[in-house]
């Protein structure tokens, strides 16, 4: 919960805007400001104070305890010009909150955390549990001192200014290790604990078995990614409680799935009870990996039979491929998720002109693999190969990477040995439609007129089907120097089914500085004015030119009423 505190009418107005926008995330604290800050500090994970930073510093100073547990605090001046991350930039999430508040209120986020200021990934922002001398190692990174990286798990990381050897070190491991005063440990989610339990097994018995098994094997519970069991035990309180205590999901499998998993220690008891000769080992091994702890039984103080079993498996680290849509070109149409993936990547793969659009967003040390037009399949192969080497890769494309872009060739190359994340982007068709008005208000289809990869006979059949079905059509890749007859042919097919006065929108370089747009008709459109940077949208029989805007109604009743 985010506590909101203000002292004046101007501050209260901005506060109320935030409360209205985030009703489920925020709580307004009224009354004397000092009391309000103290109550919010004790009850909330984060605070936004619409007060001077000096006043907030004085109010929260006596309340500060530990950076790992203190709430993040953001100050917004009463003029709403700046959102200042004051306390808990990383641990409390104040840096990101300042950016969110700034975006909502139109304020400039002010983040002074050293790693954020110079673009170095903060060790406590990598999405992994972190232990050890975070401040000392971060300072060494910022000062350019040699910091060694020992990535025992091969977990994909964003670029870090590290060296083979150094006085300071970063270790990525799921093992319990002794830390020096100059070392940080990152805990990758590599461990899966398989659990079996008799009906009514005490939660404490299940937990003590899991915790003891990990400890004796020298493994950190902070690297447990999931608990796994048979679906018949999905609601067993002891197992559910152990997953909640670890803060991980409970994954379940059918008895048939588990029976197909080869295990070293099958047993007749689970076979009779739930239909599989193994629960703990089989559920831990269901998605592969190395069995670190074979099946163990709990030990009861009264000597009664054990009611729980567990096994621990280490899954190998997997490379990560994010296929990122950059949108149509304007920076403010690049999504926050796309920005986050660009900064998470240690390797960027893309067309050179697209790389130039976002080069300033990359972290220092990001390896950039760029190439020119016509190398789409090569880029896809390169991105997948880098991910298979254990890298965190971003493969970029314009618009949405899944629409006439890089996602399909990349996924055709990828197998299930890497993680693939799709990041949607604003497509050229959507960007052009927003400029034209509302041409996509009813059913619509996008068709590429490039016959480099698709035979013209197939393209023509698709255009004809759209024409006969009275669907709005957006043409991608409409005309190039070497392909100047396809667009006239496609328009002629549409003209067989639509009035010559049918509105047609033509948008070139949508959202870019040299954007141009015009509204014409099916009869008046000159194909010679169209190129590869243009999107052409042809309306259906209901589409109208209203006040210079292209509008397709959501249904046909409006059309009938207008006639």
| Residue 45 pLDDT exceeds 80 | yes
Residue 137 to residue 167: CA distance in whole angstroms: 10
**pLDDT value at position 116?**
57
Distance CA 223, CA 174 (A): 5
DSSP letter for each residue of 154-200: ---------BSS-SEEEEE-SB-----TTEEEE--S-EEEEEEE-TT
**DSSP three-state, residue 467:** helix
d(CA 157, CA 149): 11
CB 326 within 8 A of CB 396: yes
Mean pLDDT along residues 397-411: 92
Spatial strand order of the sheet with 183-186 comes to 130-132, 183-186, 168-172, 147-151
- Does residue 124 surpass a pLDDT of 90? no
CB distance 243 to 250 below 8 Å: yes
99 pLDDT higher than 90? no
Structure confidence by residue, pLDDT tens digits, 223-238: 999 999 999 999 999 9
CA–CA separation, 388 vs 394, rounded Å? 13
Q: How high is the pLDDT of residue 165?
A: 86
Query: What's residue 268's pLDDT?
Result: 86
Report how far residue 244's alpha carbon sits from residue 225's, in angstroms, rounded to the nearest whole number: 12
Bridge partner list, 517: 507
556 or 81: whose pLDDT is higher? 81
Average pLDDT over residues 32-57: 88
Question: Could you identify the residue written with the tokens 């197939």?
Answer: 458
Name the range with the highest mean pLDDT among 126-130, 218-222, 477-481. 218-222
pLDDT band (50, 70, 90) for residue 563: very low
With contact defined as beta carbons under 8 Å apart, do 134 and 124 qualify? yes
Residue 217 has pLDDT above 80, yes or no: yes
The least confident of 124-128, 216-220, 369-373, 552-556 is: 124-128
Q: Does the structure show a pLDDT above 60 at 125? A: yes
Question: What DSSP line would sit under 497-515, residue for residue?
Answer: TS-TT-EEEEEESTTSTT-
- Mean pLDDT lowest for which of 75-89, 237-251, 357-371, 529-543? 75-89
Query: Which tens digits make up the pLDDT trace of 274-319?
Result: 888 999 999 999 999 999 999 999 987 777 788 899 999 999 888 9
Report the distance separating Cα 535 and Cα 525, nearest Å: 13
Q: How far is the C-alpha of 31 from the C-alpha of 140, rounded, in Å? A: 44
Model confidence, pTM = 0.75
Tally Cβ neighbours within 10 Å of residue 560: 9
The region that residue 88 occupies, defined by phi over 0 for left and psi between -120 and 50 for alpha, beta otherwise, is left
> Is the predicted pLDDT of residue 120 greater than 70, yes or no?
no
Would you state the pLDDT for residue 556?
A: 62
| 75 touches 51 (CB < 8 A) | yes
Q: What is the mean pLDDT of residues 87-111?
A: 84
pLDDT at 208 over 60: yes
When pLDDT is cut at 50, 70 and 90, the band that residue 472 belongs to is: very high
Is the per-residue pLDDT at 256 higher than 90? yes
Q: Where are the alpha helices (DSSP H) in 426-540?
A: 428-436, 456-468, 486-495
Stated length of the chain: 563
DSSP 122: P
Mean pLDDT throughout 190-216?
A: 93
> Each residue of 342-354: pLDDT tens digit?
988 999 999 999 9
């Amino acid at each position: 919960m985010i506590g909101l505190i203000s002292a004046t009418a101007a501050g209260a107005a901005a506060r109320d805007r935030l409360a209205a926008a985030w009703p489920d995330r925020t709580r307004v604290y009224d009354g004397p400001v000092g009391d309000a800050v103290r109550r919010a500090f004790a009850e909330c994970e984060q605070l936004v104070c619409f007060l001077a930073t000096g006043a907030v510093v004085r109010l929260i100073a006596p309340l500060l305890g530990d950076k790992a547990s203190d709430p993040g605090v953001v100050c917004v001046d009463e003029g709403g010009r700046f959102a200042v991350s004051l306390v808990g930039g990383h641990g409390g999430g104040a840096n990101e909150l300042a950016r969110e508040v700034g975006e909502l209120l139109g304020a400039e986020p002010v983040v002074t955390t050293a790693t954020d200021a110079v673009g170095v990934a903060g060790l406590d922002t990598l999405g992994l549990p972190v232990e050890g001398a975070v401040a000392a190692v971060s300072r060494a990174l910022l000062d350019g001192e040699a910091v060694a990286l020992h990535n025992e798990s091969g977990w994909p990381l964003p670029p870090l200014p590290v060296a083979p050897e150094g006085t300071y070190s970063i270790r990525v491991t799921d093992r319990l290790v002794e830390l020096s005063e100059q070392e940080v440990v990152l805990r990758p989610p590599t461990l899966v604990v398989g659990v079996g339990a008799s009906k009514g097994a005490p939660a404490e018995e299940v937990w003590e078995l899991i915790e003891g098994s990990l400890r004796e094997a020298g493994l950190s519970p902070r690297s447990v990614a999931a608990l796994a069991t048979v679906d018949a035990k999905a609601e067993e309180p002891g197992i559910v409680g152990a997953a909640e205590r670890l803060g991980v999901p409970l994954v379940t499998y059918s008895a048939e799935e588990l029976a197909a998993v080869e295990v070293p220690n099958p047993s007749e008891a689970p076979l009779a009870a739930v239909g599989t000769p193994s629960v703990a080992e089989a559920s831990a091994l269901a998605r592969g990996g190395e069995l670190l702890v074979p099946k163990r039984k709990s030990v009861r103080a009264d000597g009664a039979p054990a009611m729980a079993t567990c096994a621990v498996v280490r899954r190998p680290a997997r490379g990560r491929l994010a296929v990122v849509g950059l949108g149509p070109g304007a920076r403010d149409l690049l999504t926050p998720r796309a920005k986050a993936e660009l900064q998470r990547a240690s390797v960027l793969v893309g067309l050179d002109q697209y790389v130039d659009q976002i080069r300033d967003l990359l972290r220092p040390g990001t390896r950039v693999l760029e190439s020119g037009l016509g190398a789409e399949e090569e880029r896809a192969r390169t991105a997948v190969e880098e991910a298979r080497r254990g890298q965190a890769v971003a493969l970029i494309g314009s618009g949405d990477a899944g629409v006439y872009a890089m996602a399909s060739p990349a996924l055709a190359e990828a197998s299930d040995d890497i993680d693939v994340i799709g990041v949607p982007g604003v497509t050229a068709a959507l960007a052009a439609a927003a400029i034209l008005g509302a041409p996509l208000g009813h059913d619509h289809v996008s068709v590429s007129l490039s016959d480099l990869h698709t035979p013209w006979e197939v393209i023509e059949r698709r255009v004809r089907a759209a024409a006969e079905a009275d669907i709005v059509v957006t043409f991608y890749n409409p005309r190039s120097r070497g392909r100047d007859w396809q667009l006239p042919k496609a328009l002629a097919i549409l003209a067989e089914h639509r009035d010559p006065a049918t509105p047609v929108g033509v948008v070139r370089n949508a959202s870019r500085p040299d954007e141009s747009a015009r509204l014409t008709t099916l009869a008046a459109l000159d194909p010679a004015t169209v190129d590869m940077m243009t999107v052409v949208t042809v309306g259906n029989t209901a589409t109208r030119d209203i006040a210079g805007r292209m509008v397709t109604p959501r249904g046909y009743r409006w059309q009938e009423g207008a006639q």
